[in-house]
Chain A
Amino acid sequence: MASRFAARLLLQRLSTLRRARGTSSILVASEAPADVGGGGLFSPPGPWSALGPRCVSRVSFSTRPSALDERQNPAAVDYRSLMSEEEFHNLADETIHDLLEKFEEYGDAIQVDGYEVDYGNHVLTLKLGSLGTYVINKQAPNRQIWLSSPVSGPSRFDWDATAKTWVYRRTKAALLQLLEGEVGQLCGEPISLR
């Protein structure tokens, strides 16, 4: 399909550019003439230009506040204003490195078949053998930490500066508490991540 091919090409170009410059606004600069001001904002590339930016944004929200709006609607939150990219990386890296250490220690203390902790390309993978695999990574454009859990599925955590924790808006769950609860239960031994 022409549109899919174009989309893949776009994605390849985007990842190359992103690797080179490390910022998400590249898509805006290179593909769309309109200024959409931020990593999280949606600007329809090539094949979708017929939609028009205004129609797109109208479609994404409703006037009623709801749980659905609380997740990242493309134009609802300008993520760049939440914190700078550098600040985000420092914060997220600290959290993830801390988790890495604690998971490694935990692994030494317990007996779970196939327990393995991997950290590469800023992605933390915690394998619990047949119990499942956790993947924790940064999502810089949204200033979020993304988690994939064999228990609770995918979730996306935003930094709550007041509580000083990463919180998943939909369920109000805090990252560290969630992991403590799930991993502790799966492996049968309590773990402290805070």
Chain B
Amino acid sequence: MLSFSGKRLLGLGHRVSAAAVVGRGYHERVVDHYDNPRNVGSFDKNDSSVGTGLVGAPACGDVMKLQIRVDEESGKIVDACFKTFGCGSAIASSSVATEWVKGKKMEEVLSIKNTEIAKHLSLPPVKLHCSMLAEDAIKAAVKDYEAKKAKHLGNAEAAQVEKA
């Protein structure tokens, strides 16, 4: 009798979600990002339209790489992807970040705050640091793109000067 009911309990959902467990579980949005990963991947970081933000340190347990593809003319982020090494909250935070930056202008995404990400995912206090890292990743990606752009402009100018 006991083993039968035990088996039934185990069969009900391979993963413990916040819905089933009070207090210590991951919020269902976090689980959703984990089960249905979106925008996981990599762009060619040498591509001039790509900005790459790499933040964190493995010793701390969290590393996020967030990449954006920017349309030069409009200054809008047309695509984004991420790869994250870390806990479920970190993965979900960076996943949300890639969703939120798509279609926005670069200046706009700089105003995305970690508090918004944390609220969206109902992150518990101890996981707020993950959302901060995601915010940092966005900023780092934008900064990288702009640095690359400036460098290319600088190179182009130098080439023109040489020709003259």
Q: Which residues of A contact B (CB under 8 A)?
A: 1, 3-4, 7, 10-11, 14-15, 24-25, 27, 39-43, 45, 47-48, 51, 55-56, 59-60, 62-63, 66, 68, 71-72, 74, 123, 125, 132-135, 137, 139, 141-142, 146, 148, 150, 153-154, 156
Bound-state CA distance A139–B129 (Å) is: 12
Q: Does B56 contact A (CB under 8 A)?
A: yes
**A11 and B61 contacting across the interface, CB-CB below 8 Å:** yes
- Can you list 21 A-B pairs with a CB-CB distance of less than 8 A? A7-B84, A7-B85, A7-B86, A10-B85, A11-B61, A14-B58, A27-B58, A39-B57, A42-B56, A42-B63, A45-B58, A55-B45, A56-B54, A62-B144, A66-B143, A72-B57, A141-B60, A142-B59, A148-B129, A153-B118, A154-B132
Q: What sequence of 0s and 1s flags, for each residue 28-46 of chain B, a beta carbon within 8 Å of any chain A beta carbon?
A: 0000000001001000010
- Counting chain B CB atoms within 10 Å of each CB, which of A45, A135, A150 scores highest? A135
Given contacts A4-B37, A134-B125, A150-B125, contact A74 B56 (CB under 8 A): yes
Q: Does B147 contact A (CB under 8 A)?
A: yes
With a CB–CB cut-off of 8 A, which chain B residues contact A25?
59
Shortest distance between the CB of B131 and any CB in chain A (Å) = 7
Q: What sequence of 0s and 1s flags, for each residue 52-86 of chain B, a beta carbon within 8 Å of any chain A beta carbon?
A: 11111111110101000000000000000001111
Q: Does B140 contact A (CB under 8 A)?
A: yes
**B54 and A59 contacting across the interface, CB-CB below 8 Å:** yes
Shortest distance between the CB of A139 and any CB in chain B (Å) = 6
**B58 and A42 contacting across the interface, CB-CB below 8 Å:** yes
**B57 and A1 contacting across the interface, CB-CB below 8 Å:** no
With a CB–CB cut-off of 8 A, which chain B residues contact A42?
54, 56-58, 63
Bound-state CA distance A51–B44 (Å) is: 10
Given contacts A4-B37, A60-B140, A71-B136, contact A141 B125 (CB under 8 A): no
User: Closest residue to B46 on the A side, CB-wise?
Assistant: A55
Bound-state CA distance A166–B40 (Å) is: 37
Bound-state CA distance A56–B65 (Å) is: 10
Shortest distance between the CB of B90 and any CB in chain A (Å) = 10
With a CB–CB cut-off of 8 A, which chain A residues contact B52?
59
Given contacts A3-B83, A7-B86, A148-B128, contact A60 B54 (CB under 8 A): yes
Q: Does B21 contact A (CB under 8 A)?
A: no
With a CB–CB cut-off of 8 A, which chain B residues contact A45?
58, 85
User: Closest residue to B37 on the A side, CB-wise?
Assistant: A1
Shortest distance between the CB of B15 and any CB in chain A (Å) = 13
Q: A7-B85, A56-B54, A74-B57 are in contact. List 10 more A-B contacts (CB 8 A).
A: A7-B86, A15-B61, A42-B57, A42-B58, A45-B58, A47-B83, A60-B54, A60-B55, A134-B125, A135-B125
